[in-house]
Amino acid sequence: MIEARRLHILRAVADHRTVTAAAAALYLTPSAVSQQLTALEQETGHRLVERGARGVRLTPAGEILLSHANAVLAQLERAEAELAAYGAGEAGTVTVAAFATGIAQVVAPAVARLSATAPGIRIRVQDAEGDASLPMVLDRQVDVAVAVEYRGAPPADDPRLTHVPLYAEPFDAVVPVSHRLADGPEVPLAELAKDPWIGPYPGNPCHDVVVLACENAGFQPRLEHLSDDFRAVVALASADVGVALVPRSALRGTDLTGVVVRPVDGVAPTRRVFAAVRRGAEGHPLIRPVLDALHAAAEDA
């Protein structure tokens, strides 16, 4: 008989690619993870993982078992949801991980909405970029992630997750008031090819949006200044040290003294924001109202 707990460990090892990283995510010791993998191999009668200099990879048998593990774990999430519904499930805590502007745009309004419509649900919010929040959901560290599509992100049909689209927003060009393009109604990105740039660190989903937009315009941006805080990005642009692309919602309430904000000429780069939960958990009586409140907040934004 295969234990579901060991299937969860197998998936964590496949996601994190090392026993040490999987153990840290699961709050276990590496030796405990290794022992559980060994026990799982004994249960199945197959070698499931191979260890190498670059970490751990699944064998073909491990890949087969992983595909079934995703289905089994999703079904267990559904079972928990139905049992919670049977037991009323009207009170409890839901943890939401979201990036800063997503918290301001949809999470905080959703919390306010839930305080009136579902007062028994307590929301705990954690600030985390999209590339961090999705693994947190998969590792059961949080219940809901509000994340941004990015290169390398789990796709919408990922068997481990359920995606709920929330909103899409354009990036605007932010240039110093003294910039040669400051007086135009729009900013052609190709005209910024030789400028120094200010932007998020690699790994931040917005970094991918900025770089991809510039690549589509025919150049690689020369990122001389890096910050994941868009207030800092705008402040640096006001100091005339470079240009930037900033999500429109991140400009709300930001001091724009010394800069000019203009739409991008042509097709504007866009970030698409979604909520994600472990597949099967979307019907949980505590999680479903949170997803509905996030969706309603996005429609009102």
Residue type, 38: T
Mean of pLDDT over the chain: 90
CB-CB neighbours of 185 under 10 Å: 7
Question: Are 158 and 278 in the same domain?
Answer: yes
- Both tokens of residue 61? 């048998």
pLDDT at 86 over 70: no
Pairing of strands 222-226, 121-127: unpaired
Calpha distance 252→240 (Å, rounded) = 21
Cα distances from 184 to residues 107, 140, 263, 269, in angstroms, run 35, 49, 10, 19
Identify whether residues 94 and 162 lie together within a single domain.
yes
Q: Is the pTM of this model over 0.85?
A: no
Higher pLDDT, 87 or 168: 168
What single-letter DSSP state applies at residue 201? P
Burial class of 45 by CB neighbour count within 10 A (0 to 12, 13 to 18, 19+): exposed
At residue 237, the pLDDT reads 97
Which domain range does residue 64 map to? 4-82
Q: 161 Cβ partners below 8 Å, 6+ apart?
A: 134, 137, 138, 154, 276, 277, 278, 279
Ranking 26-35, 103-112, 292-301 by mean pLDDT, the lowest is 26-35
* Cβ(128)–Cβ(98) below 8 Å: yes
Give the amino acid at 164: V
* Pair 184, 244 in one domain: yes
Using the 3D structure, point to which of 30, 54, 82 is the last residue of a domain: 82
The count of domains in the chain is 3
Write out the two tokens for 99.
């990036």
Write down which residue in 51, 82, 113 finishes a domain. 82
* pLDDT tier, 53 (very low <50, low <70, confident <90, very high otherwise): confident
pLDDT surpasses 90 at 97: yes
Confidence of residue 238 (pLDDT cuts 50, 70, 90): very high
Q: What is the pLDDT of residue 89?
A: 59
Domain boundary pick from 38, 56, 82? 82
Pairwise pLDDT comparison (7 vs 277), residue with the higher score: 277
Q: Domain holding 19: CATH number? A: 1.10.10.10
List 273's β-bridge partners, or say none. Answer: 148, 167
Are 118 and 175 in the same domain? no
With a CB cutoff of 8 Å and minimum separation 6, the contacts of 177 are 238, 258, 259, 260
Distance CA 192, CA 216 (A): 13
Tell me: do 255 and 280 sit in the same domain: no
In a shared domain, residues 174 and 264: yes
**Share above pLDDT 90 across residues of the chain, in percent, rounded to a whole number:** 55
Task: Quote the pLDDT of residue 88.
Answer: 60
Q: What's the pLDDT tens digit per position in 155-203?
A: 888 999 999 999 999 999 999 999 999 999 999 999 999 999 999 998 8
Read off the pLDDT band of 85 (50, 70, 90): low
**Interval 57-69 mean pLDDT:** 89
Same domain, 258 and 173: yes
235-251: average pLDDT: 95
Q: What is the number of H-type helices and E-type strands within the chain?
A: 10, 11
Claim to verify: residue 111 and residue 145 sit in the same structural domain: yes
> Can you give the CATH number for the domain in which 190 is found?
3.40.190.10
149 and 290 within one domain: yes
- CA dist., res. 174 & res. 194, Å (int): 15
Q: Is 191 found in the same domain as 144?
A: no
Residues 283 and 256 in one domain: no
Distance CA 49, CA 81 (A): 32
The token duo for 183 is 């007086």
